[in-house]
Structure 1
Amino acid sequence: MSASGRPVSALGRAVRRLGHSRWFAACTPVLVPADRLVAKLTRGRVVALGLVPSLLITTTGRRSGRPRSNPLLYVPDGDAYVVTGSNWGRPEQPAWALNLLADPTATITVDGNRIPVRARLVDGAERERLWTLLVTEWPAYRTYVTRAGGRNIRVFRLEPSQSDKA
């Protein structure tokens, strides 16, 4: 059973084990655009091939002002969605996380449903609680902390909002 309460398939368990390997992270320049395309073609009903709970987040580019969409693993927390800027353990922050810091309003697509959200960067005890949920869902996050070389891996709580965006 995953942190989201969904059963984990044998393929999902295999992918979670592979998530620790460097070569898996090295494949992201191909995997992420392919995942983005599948999510677009299925109108957000299929993200990460359904292997892990995933959503498509659309932020506003902090430099371009244009919408930017990225597939992300999430865990639910009440009516909110929790995501982390692990960037597969790379030393730099992911662009989507920097976009949220500049403008916390975004839209997520979960199971084909578009939801306007407001991102809140969490810290302290709340971060630790949510980090535990994230690591339960995707154990490779522990590996990414080491691989990131001391970079602060941010955790965001995406809370549904009333304003529409994107």
Structure 2
Amino acid sequence: MATQSRRGRAYGRPVARAQRAATSLHTSLYRATGGRLGGRLAGGPVLLLTTKGRKSGRERTVPLLYLPDGEDLVLVASNGGTAAHPMWLLNLRAQPAATVEVGEKSLRVRAREASPGEKERLWPRLVEMYGGYESYQQKTDRPIPVVILHPANDERPSGA
């Protein structure tokens, strides 16, 4: 096997299984209560992001912290500081159309990665919301992408 940096190592199988189970439970509780349970985590608001699997074509839902920015919703693709991007980011890169649930409201969105200038503007607010993002960035060699979700029914040009 090729030499690999130990920074941002992937989680082992038991941790990955536990993470999938926790995600499933969190999603179920969030939906059953309209976000009253699971709608906040580590002091920040949580949404449910549903993407289309880039290989399987199946819908995948994950709970994620988000930062409201005007009508946009901002996500951090930290994956806990591991060396690999989260699957939801790879799915959005292949198919930027997605759905989010915020409380009881469902919204179609279109995703794009923040420009360097947007990331520079948003990063301090994201770290203020959840300080773990800064330690995740320090744990990994990959730049952690910031993703902007914009309501799909608005025809405003990307990046405007």
For the superposition of Structure 1 and Structure 2, which TM-score range results when normalised by the shorter chain?
0.7 to 0.9
The structural deviation recorded for 1:100 is 0.4
Matched residue, 1:57: 49
Considering only CA atoms, is the larger Rg found in Structure 1 or Structure 2?
Answer: 2
User: Closer, same or farther in 2 for the Cα pair 1:65/1:44, shift >3 Å?
Assistant: farther
Which segments of 5 or more consecutive residues in structure 1 lack a partner in the other structure? 1-25
Identity percentage of aligned residues: 39
Cα deviation digits, residues 70-129 of structure 1 (max 9, x gap): 000000000010001101111211000000000100000001100000001112111111
**Residue identity matched to 2:25:** A
Q: Do the aligned partners of 2:39 and 2:103 also contact (CA within 8 Å) in 1?
A: no
Q: Does 1:159 align with 2:150?
A: yes
The structural deviation recorded for 1:47 is 2.8
Indicate which of 50, 60, 64 corresponds to 1:68. Answer: 60
**Residue identity matched to 1:90:** T
The structural deviation recorded for 1:48 is 4.8
> May I ask how many residue pairs the two structures share in their alignment?
138
Q: Do the aligned partners of 1:108 and 1:114 also contact (CA within 8 Å) in 2?
A: yes
Aligned to 1:153, the other structure's residue is in SS state: coil
Cα deviation digits, residues 144-164 of structure 1 (max 9, x gap): 01122x11211111000129x
In 1, the alpha carbon distance for the partners of 2:61 and 2:68 equals: 20
TM-score of the two chains, using structure 1 as the length reference: 0.75
**Residue identity matched to 1:39:** Y
Which segments of 5 or more consecutive residues in structure 2 lack a partner in the other structure? 1-14, 155-160
Q: Do the aligned partners of 2:49 and 2:62 also contact (CA within 8 Å) in 1?
A: yes
**Residue identity matched to 1:79:** E
Indicate which of 79, 87, 101 corresponds to 1:95. Answer: 87
Greater helix share, structure number: 1
Cα deviation digits, residues 9-40 of structure 1 (max 9, x gap): xxxxxxxxxxxxxxxxx664543232122123
